[in-house]
Structure 1
């Protein structure tokens, strides 16, 4: 199946437009990184047609294969696609700031949804994630698993992740999908022969990769040399973001080992902040803002929150930006296209596994929840309702159920 080409550079968006688009997503994208990938697909593949289905799946596969927050990397890349590096920064700011602000408020003891109607709204928004991810699996499976071979790859990927739910399993599944594609998927139509047109030069990409490596290697000795608390915070958050595969939940033990034994934050406060992070939209990596603010860098916690927030995201964004200028050339090679057919099928399996755990298991508690989630799915797939309307309706349903 031939992919829809990306729009020409003339279709570029203004920075304010990119910021507002991603700000809306940052306010409504509940459910974790896999759900965010579903939200991004609905917005930019189905509705706005910034990128084709196969190209989007290629981008998701690249982000899944590298360390860092996959959904934020995909969103940042889409911003770069439409507005260059400033567009990528605008996309990251819009998608990240809503949850980051909530986590900063939580660090100062503000509870935005302690129970009752507020908790019902949050639970309803989690049910939206079930519908959105189910819609993404439905659409991507039809486009990326059109034959028995690729459908088998998707099913095996799902089974592997359900039986061994670990970050390394996800990387192994993607590698196995690439091997299966090279071996069994050479005869299909080109996976995607349209240039995406990322506005990143090779020199800029190499510079980003160099900065990533220099910071990873240089921050620990700089911390020891200066003894500055701000540098130590940046080092801890940067290493956590640079060494994590598998998304937000996997970064939590790395942050815990950096912040709790050092005495920067009490274990009870860490767990309380983690609980809040489960209930906010947007990327879970914003939990780092809570940690930086709660430990109270003088003169106040805002500086600490800002340092840890930027530092935990920076390595993943540097890596994806560094790879973008080489992505078009790689995707056009016959062996790479065969590998990507298998990888894209494996991504469908990853989405399917995540639809069950953690999204379904943490959201659907009984028949009423199932009815709400299925109705949301039908609204998206059958009635083509806009995602914002489904989000608002499902949140209202959750609040209504909580009040009964």
Structure 2
């Protein structure tokens, strides 16, 4: 029997990864997304940033977080999305002293994450082979655009480019023969995000192996590998048939109607999964004769005659409001839904009930609203202990508490521009 929400919320919370420390040398999105997942699950994540500059995404705005007076702060919303729960330490890793600090922190860590160009950290003695010599049980994860080997290994990797190279854009976008047809990227950096998710799983698998055997290992994550893997059934369709899938926009290649329609005042999604649902759909729309038409009586026939049927359905749907359609179709058992903007998303009663928005204290702005982790664990749920850190917010704390630096040593390093 599953615990109730009240019981789960009143039980003492534990941290799944409270025994794990992660040294995060990543920036932008794929690596920070992985590190944020681990931080949400309780890991102590130390984010290493360049002094005075920090993660590139700190300046990827507007929008920026507003301070108490309503002015833009230095924290871009993009940065806030992927850096919750971490500690920020500023270190110049191009300096010998900075390299020594990072090596010392690696010795105190279970995991190192990095997304530098292939081979770039070797010259600093911060690559896996170098750190493995001083910490054999280290789990070390490298994230690049194209992996550590192969003809593209030296290329810089950007999500948008990889969406194109990896085939995603060939199946995303409106049909070429319709207005606005052509390749389209996703509305978010989906390849970066999925790489961060796959990297999180790989790190947890490597930690489990380490705990069983004492052996660390190297993880080579590539955006292109992830993009091809996440083609899922589309990739399998090609491998099975030898025929490249094409773009269908908001329609489905094998099911009709399974797409968006314009209503009198907005848009809805209708996902008819069988012939009975199709009949109910057209009955709600006042066109029951369409279900009796032999051209539309079965899904294979509807697919064959989609160019005739879909305009008839589009005309039918435009006769009612979005809410009227949703209410009537839900009552009839026909799968449907609205296409919400983000204001409507965060105001949705189901989203609110699931606690997908969290409000955390922030040292400059007082508080910051963030999207919560979707992981729901009954005993060790994600915990939101800290907002995304200010640049270098924890430098003194980490060097003092973990590495034993005196305050005058820290001040000296800061004067030299190393911190």
TM-score (norm 2): 0.24
Choose between structure 1 and 2 for higher RCO, CA contacts under 8 A separated by at least 6 residues. Answer: 1
**Which structure would you say has the larger Rg?**
2
Structure 1 or 2: more strand by fraction? 2
Higher helix residue share: 1
